[in-house]
Amino acid sequence: MKPNQQQPCGADGKWQLPQQVSMTALQLRDWLEYPGSLTARLRQHCQQFSIQVLFEGYAEIANHELKTLACAGPYWVREVLLCCDGEPWVFARSVIPKSSLEGDAAEVSRLANKPLGELLFTDKGQRQTLELAQIDQSSAIYQHVKDPQPLWGRRSRFLLASAPLLVSEIFLPSCIAYQGESGVAAS
């Protein structure tokens, strides 16, 4: 599948540790803080899981991503939509330093329409950090949203075979994470 964007969207927001985020939406918080594979969890809620690749290639990354990764570039960026029964539920962005594309972690640049989560949640992968954010309304992610509403996401720094990478997962309005929830607020 060929990517259909010329430039990556990014994942801009005020990223904070989970304990710094005040939120009344318990179901959403459960999804945001879920410790396992989001791909596996999404598959439990649909008949057909698919991935649409939006962008894949070397690109500039945001300062907040540089700070979190703490690795020199250049950076391989992969942006995809995780879809359940044909409906986009999650926008996912992976940022991988070129140095992480060597050795045992090299397969991340050859995923095509396979989920990264299948690699990260093996004996080679380890989550180091988790942060949450409400996504900035000016983010290009909103081009993938039919009904604009505040979007929430989580961001994790992983080691894959000792190679660092950053994964941001933004929950889109159709995602089950928002069902039955209202009054989502950040502090």
| Alpha carbon distances (Å) from 108 to 65, 125, 161 | 18, 12, 11
Helix, strand, or coil (residue 28): helix
168 closest CA partner among 150, 156, 186? 156
Asked whether residue 17 is marked as a ligand-binding residue, the answer is: no
Asked whether residue 132 is marked as a ligand-binding residue, the answer is: no
Q: How far apart are CA 6 and CA 23, in angstroms?
A: 35
In the block, tokens 């879809």 appear at: 83
Asked whether residue 169 is marked as a ligand-binding residue, the answer is: yes
- Residue 150 is encoded by which pair of tokens? 């505040």
Q: What are residue 134's DSSP bridge partners?
A: 152
b/e for 72-82, b at 16 or more Cβ within 10 A? ebebbbbbbbb
Give helix then strand counts, H and E, for the chain: 4, 6
Binding site, residues?
A: 78, 116, 169
Binding site for substrate, residues?
A: 78, 116, 169
